Structure 1
Amino acid sequence: MDTITKRLAQIMYIPMIKSVGVQQVDSLGTALVEGGLPVANISQQTDDGLELLRILSSHFPEIIVGGGNVQTEGEARNAIEAGARFIFSPVFDPAIIELCQMQGVAVYPVTKDGILAVEEGLKVLGFYPIEKLGGLAAIDHMADLFGLKFIAAGSITEQTVNSYLANRHVIAATGSWMIDPVLVAAEQWAQVKLAIRKTASLAQTLVR
């Protein structure tokens, strides 16, 4: 397991960023650091996603910034050039995987085909949307056959996240419940930080 993946496995809770504007980047970075989750999975399907990734990775080098919802090789390349240290992709594109591997960037594509993952030299996959793909039963099946680990995603909430993380094959989970768009729009960053801190504290109740 590479260094970034090991760090994500330690942090476990990965905020998915979809509703934050470029002008709010410093407030976001401060909330993540002070809230105890120095990681951001920034969607590349929003207007500001790439620039947000670029600024956050530059202003907050202590935060592990990744490109989320990456769907093409071009998006992956742009995210890496902007400072992404990992790529989370809902598709299984060998071109994206090869690019990330050549650049030394962790990549977590989504597939239910364990043979494909093994052929590409992958040890950790994304699993999104987790329930539509078969939930923890599907993860256990693939892990038992191919020795894979997973980052869970898809409609995960504060109430459900630990039910996934309790599985020994799930190293982390990503979701947007911590970054409430209403609070972001209202610039209520103290409340955002409290939500992040509350999620981080869930690790104390997690039994693997």
Structure 2
Amino acid sequence: MSNLNDKLAALKVIPVIAIKDAEDAIPLGKALVDNGMPCAEITFRTEAAADAIRNMRKEFPEMLIGAGTVLTKEQVDEAIDAGVDFIVSPGFNPTTVKYCQEKGVAIVPGVNNPSLVEQAMEMGLRTLKFFPAEPSGGVSMLKALTAVYPVKFMPTGGVSLGNIDDYLALPSVLACGGTWMVPGDLIDNKQWDELGLLVKDAVAKVQ
């Protein structure tokens, strides 16, 4: 996990993507890589997720690619088969965590309160997703959790260009997940140049 942590910390922002057409993964990946964001969290909110990951991995082997919104063992298997580097889940499901550990793939499960952090720590996890970040108390809640628990966080949910600096200022925050630089309408309409500009702005913001 430390290697993943290093990569997340270097990137600072991870685009969280719902992709409907797996073929779009290649031009989307190019827009990300060309504009300084060689990473993606492809969510399993669409049926195209596994194929999109597979296409992106084949075309951009050096990208850091995660599978998001993973809820079942079957999705874990699909994600691993597609070539992901890590798994992300919106909540803390001990069954999913244990299965990922058995499969030897890193998982970053979602938590948003002390009890969930402790349960995750009990299973040996020290890198967690803080989700949904803003509705769960945002930076103030993270500061409270950080004061008690020796873990690292990846806040996602309500993080934007306007508040990402506040999150990244916390020593416990490795990187933030965000959707604002990869809006679904630009992906659906294949507006890669416009999307690239949003990506470039996000990268410039966190450098």
Q: TM-score, normalised by structure 2?
A: 0.92
Does the 8 Å contact 1:18/1:176 carry over to 2?
no
Does the 8 Å contact 1:77/1:99 carry over to 2?
no
- Structure 1 equivalent of residue 158 of structure 2: 155
Opposite residue 145 of structure 1, the aligned amino acid is V
Opposite residue 140 of structure 1, the aligned amino acid is K
Does the 8 Å contact 1:124/1:149 carry over to 2?
yes
CA distance in 2, matches of 1:78, 1:183: 26
- Structure 2 equivalent of residue 72 of structure 1: 72
Secondary structure in 2 matching 1:26? helix
Does the 8 Å contact 2:88/2:109 carry over to 1?
yes
Secondary structure in 1 matching 2:124? coil
Does the 8 Å contact 1:126/1:153 carry over to 2?
yes
Seq. identity, %: 32
- Structure 2 equivalent of residue 86 of structure 1: 86
1:198 to 177, 197, 201: 201
- Structure 1 equivalent of residue 105 of structure 2: 105
CA distance in 2, matches of 1:133, 1:99: 27
CA distance in 2, matches of 1:180, 1:131: 19
Deviation (angstroms), 1:108: 0.9
Q: How many residues align?
A: 204
Provide structure 1 residue ranges, at least 5 long, that are not aligned to the other structure: none
Provide structure 2 residue ranges, at least 5 long, that are not aligned to the other structure: none
CA distance in 2, matches of 1:20, 1:62: 23
CA distance in 2, matches of 1:169, 1:196: 24
- Structure 2 equivalent of residue 121 of structure 1: 124
Alignment of 1:8-27 (within 5 A): 8-27=8-27
- Structure 1 equivalent of residue 60 of structure 2: 60
Secondary structure in 2 matching 1:51? helix
CA distance in 1, matches of 2:102, 2:175: 24
Opposite residue 91 of structure 1, the aligned amino acid is G
Deviation (angstroms), 1:187: 2.0
- Structure 1 equivalent of residue 139 of structure 2: 136
Deviation (angstroms), 1:188: 1.8
Does the 8 Å contact 2:15/2:178 carry over to 1?
yes
Q: TM-score, normalised by structure 1?
A: 0.91
Opposite residue 133 of structure 2, the aligned amino acid is I
Deviation (angstroms), 1:71: 1.5
Does the 8 Å contact 2:44/2:67 carry over to 1?
yes
Q: Does 1:42 align with 2:45?
A: no
- CA RMSD in angstroms comes to 1.5
1:36-92 CA distances to partner (integer Å, 9 max, x unpaired)?
011000010112112111211122111111101111222122212211111110121
Opposite residue 128 of structure 2, the aligned amino acid is L
1:175 to 178, 181, 194: 178
Does the 8 Å contact 1:157/1:177 carry over to 2?
yes
